[in-house]
Amino acid sequence: MINKNRPHVLVLPEDDANRQIADAFALEVQDPRRIQVLPEAGGWLSVCTKFQSDHVKGMRNIPERHLILLLDFDNQNDRMDHIMQKTPPDLAPRVFLLGVQSEPEDLKKVGLSSYEKIGRKLAAECRERKREMWNHDLLERNAGELDRL
């Protein structure tokens, strides 16, 4: 269980594939009380809706909370702008939008292994301040958000 009085991250995944990657990532976090993967939202529009209906108030009440919206970009370059426009300005510094350029299934298709191994490798790279897998064509769009994190 997360400690609300210390900096922590909630991850709101779009679908089961993203949830599996996030769960594996969370297994590699040193302090498990700093990250919680939420149930999948059921589509990128549902991520937006759930963020606004379920998390805006909580984030305002808990200043140590950060939120990662984990979704498929479905090769839609305007998706990030669409979501960030709906993010209240006071929360924008604590909301991060991460995901695969197309969809997570493509990570497996190009041979990057299982969702569990992908999630663990991405976490290890964050811990080691590396970006080998993060620099893959399907994930490189996350660079700016990783810098903010």
For 122-138, write each residue's pLDDT tens digit. 999 999 999 999 999 99
pLDDT at 65: 97
Q: In what order do the strands lie in the sheet with 95-100?
A: 35-37, 8-13, 65-72, 95-100
CA distance 122 to 132: 9
Mean pLDDT of 50-57: 96
CA distance 59 to 41: 18
Residue 30 has pLDDT above 90, yes or no: no
Q: How confident is the model at residue 37 (pLDDT cuts 50, 70, 90)?
A: very high
pLDDT at 10: 98
Q: How confident is the model at residue 3 (pLDDT cuts 50, 70, 90)?
A: confident
Percent of the chain, pLDDT > 90?
A: 89
Residue 1 has pLDDT above 90, yes or no: no
Residue 32 has pLDDT above 90, yes or no: no
On average, the pLDDT of the chain sits at 95
List all residues 6 or more positions away from 56 whose beta carbon is below 8 Å from its beta carbon.
Answer: 88, 91
pLDDT at 125: 96
Mean pLDDT of 7-24: 97
DSSP 140: G
Mean pLDDT of 104-127: 95
